[in-house]
Amino acid sequence: MNQVANVEITESATPTLSALPLRLADFDSLASALDYAAQGESGTNFYAGSGKLATVLPYCKLREQAQTLAKRLLSFPLERGTRVAIVAETNPDFLRFFFACQYAGLVPVALPAVIHVGGHKAYVNQLNGLLKGCRASLAVSSSQLLPFLTEAAEGLGLQFVNAASAFDELPLKDITLKPSGPNETAYLQYTSGSTGFPRGVIITQESVMANLLASGHGLDVRVDDRLVSWLPFYHDMGLVGCLLAPMATQRSIDYLDTRDFAMRPRRWLELLSSSRGTISFSPPFGYALCVRRLRPEDIAQYDLSAWRVAGIGAEPIHVELTNRFCELLAPAGFNPKSFVPSYGMAETSLALSFAPLGTGVVVDWLDGDDLADNLVATKVSPNTGSSFVRCGPILPKHEVLILDEQGKSLAEMQIGRINVRGPSIMSGYFELPEQTQLVLSADGWLDTGDLGYLVDGQIVVTGRHKDMLIINGRNIWPQDIEAIATRQPELRSVDASAVSVPGPDQEEIAVLIVQCNITDSEEQHLLTQRLHREIHEELGVNCVIELVPRHTLPRTSSGKLSRSGARKDYILRQKALAENAAK
């Protein structure tokens, strides 16, 4: 791990237990929450890829360093609310700059710190678009990523773009700090970009604190809780759930770099075991990575008996995956009832619902024909039909409605667009009033863009409205097609993306894009024929199968597969093939 300026390195991690009385995020701002947390002994701990403790930053040190840095940032002529772009690497510098903005009345904007397969140009273009979108005045990164950030900022007129250490050389302004108040913007959170270019979500202090308060109660945060995370800080689950939430509840947390987790997922389980971690969240692909990479003989070294909240969300949850994880880790003491499915998004600060604690994954098995033809959730026998996971009741002081296309409220077990209202909802998209008006009504209702239904007061998400495939008048969930693909022995859970494209007569046709390493033409033919047959047998639709090399399917900034990106790329490939054939 890179050395970080002005961060004290100690021999031991911050303790789990603290003499400071527990408060569940009942503060009016993030700065107030840190002021309180700094009175205790807890804090943040950063682990290297080797699994060894590298850097310790207690909340008391974080507050001290953030306030000093705030006075350095204000040596620039910055208006209140000015955006500060921070490349969000998993190190203490991100925390220092994020909270310096809170104390200085500035608005931090977390930028992705991952270079995808597209390489240098793609990453620079991504950063350039985000810097333009938030109109940042200052931008900071590590020295390793500074060349990318500097190139991305060219011509944008930022006042200062540099590595974190350079900011520590700025003069200290003699000023009394005025932290951001409840009605001011706490930060901009970029959406993952799964339906287009990402938008900057405006989250006020009041909104994020309302979400943290409700989540603290929803997860029943306790004095002996300790968090563990590998999630990136530029993703809402990583930022709010695994940085702001532990700070606002004065809990210690242990961090593993996202890239280190991707290379060695066992490090996550090792850290949970050694630190006796009780709360840790992941999208489904993180659990899938563990299932794929762990060997049965490795399990004996783990002790996951303390893990009481295994949060799972941000993507469709498949019961086959959670079952495999539970079976694999049962000898390590993992309790299946620790799974806590959740539902939320950047536009609602983070969480909207948590499944009741201690119930594990509760599945509704639904009739596929009623889903496709009538958008009605009709229950069938377990392990038949389509499976959907219950994500719990809406958080306190929030409301949820399921609406049809005419805006009429639907009864339980009827599928429609999920609309929510409450104190955690965003103020809007930064400088995108038209985009804001499309999803946020004048009376505060947010159209989430998700489809789902209510059952026994719990939310069940069935898919994204824009991802829905309408084939021959039938509603086909892309994840149903993808599930058929990813159960093939040659494929992984992230190897398939189902989309619809205009056919010869402008009627929509289903396309399944599958990435794999199979080069033998006969093996490719057998896989394609098998997929054609199983999709038609189970879903009653014909589907074009395209096999592409590994690493072809595009991803969002948070690492999820982008169906909109896959659709666009497929259309471009078909256009190029047609042009070559015409020559």
Domains present along the chain, CATH in parentheses? 30-263 (3.40.50.12780), 309-464 (3.40.50.12780), 469-582 (3.30.300.30)
How confident is the prediction for the chain on average, in pLDDT?
90
Q: What is the mean pLDDT of residues 455-459?
A: 95
Quick one: pLDDT band at residue 197, thresholds 50, 70, 90? low
Length of the chain: 583
Q: What is the pLDDT of residue 383?
A: 85
Dihedral pair phi/psi, residue 394, rounded to 5°: -60, 150
Quick one: pLDDT band at residue 116, thresholds 50, 70, 90? low
Q: What is the pLDDT of residue 11?
A: 65
- Tell whether the model's pLDDT for residue 128 goes beyond 90: yes
Quick one: pLDDT band at residue 7, thresholds 50, 70, 90? very low
What one-character DSSP code corresponds to residue 230? -
Q: Which residues of 534-563 are buried (b: 16+ CB within 10 A; e: fewer)?
A: bbeeebebebbbbbbeeebbbbbbbbbbbb
Q: Under a CB-based contact definition with an 8 Å cutoff, are residues 182 and 205 in contact?
A: yes
Label residue 576 exposed, middle or buried (CB < 10 Å: 0-12, 13-18, 19+): exposed
What is the C-alpha to C-alpha distance for residues 203 and 185, in angstroms, rounded to an integer? Answer: 6
Q: What is the pLDDT of residue 483?
A: 84
- Tell whether the model's pLDDT for residue 74 goes beyond 50: yes
SS3 of 94-163: HHHHHHHHHHHCCEEEEECCCCCCCHHHHHHHHHHHHHHHHCCCEEEECCCCHHHHHHHHCCCCCCEEEE
Q: What is the pLDDT of residue 535?
A: 87
Picking from 369, 370, 318, 364, the residue whose alpha carbon sits closest to that of residue 339 is 318
Quick one: pLDDT band at residue 474, thresholds 50, 70, 90? low
Q: What is the mean pLDDT of residues 274-282?
A: 97
Q: What is the pLDDT of residue 8?
A: 39
- Tell whether the model's pLDDT for residue 582 goes beyond 90: no
Which distant-in-sequence residues (6+ apart) come within 8 Å of 533 by Cβ? none
Long-range contacts of 396-400 (CB under 8 A, 24+ apart): 396/214, 396/217, 397/210, 397/214, 397/422, 397/423, 398/214, 398/352, 398/422, 398/423, 398/424, 400/352, 400/454, 400/459
- Tell whether the model's pLDDT for residue 122 goes beyond 80: no
Q: Under a CB-based contact definition with an 8 Å cutoff, are residues 148 and 124 in contact?
A: yes
Q: What is the pLDDT of residue 86?
A: 98
Q: 75-79, 556-560, 573-577 — which one is most confidently predicted on average?
A: 75-79
Picking from 427, 419, 432, the residue whose alpha carbon sits closest to that of residue 196 is 432
Q: Under a CB-based contact definition with an 8 Å cutoff, are residues 502 and 575 in contact?
A: no
Tens-digit pLDDT profile for residues 332-351: 999 999 999 999 999 999 99
506 CB neighbour count, 10 Å cutoff: 6
What is the C-alpha to C-alpha distance for residues 494 and 140, in angstroms, rounded to an integer? Answer: 32
Q: What is the pLDDT of residue 192?
A: 61
Q: What is the mean pLDDT of residues 82-96?
A: 97
Q: What is the pLDDT of residue 374?
A: 78
- Tell whether the model's pLDDT for residue 4 goes beyond 50: no
Q: What is the pLDDT of residue 508?
A: 78
Q: What is the mean pLDDT of residues 230-238?
A: 93
Q: What is the pLDDT of residue 415?
A: 92
Tens-digit pLDDT profile for residues 399-433: 999 999 899 999 999 999 999 999 999 999 999 99
What is the C-alpha to C-alpha distance for residues 338 and 328, in angstroms, rounded to an integer? Answer: 15
Q: What is the mean pLDDT of residues 30-34?
A: 98
Q: What is the mean pLDDT of residues 435-452?
A: 93
Joined together, the tokens standing for residue 116 give 């995808």
Residue position matching structure tokens 């810097």: 131
Q: Under a CB-based contact definition with an 8 Å cutoff, are residues 224 and 17 in contact?
A: yes
Q: What is the pLDDT of residue 196?
A: 46
Q: What is the pLDDT of residue 194?
A: 41
- Proportion of the chain above pLDDT 90, given as a percent: 68
- Tell whether the model's pLDDT for residue 16 goes beyond 70: yes
More confident site: 87 or 298: 87
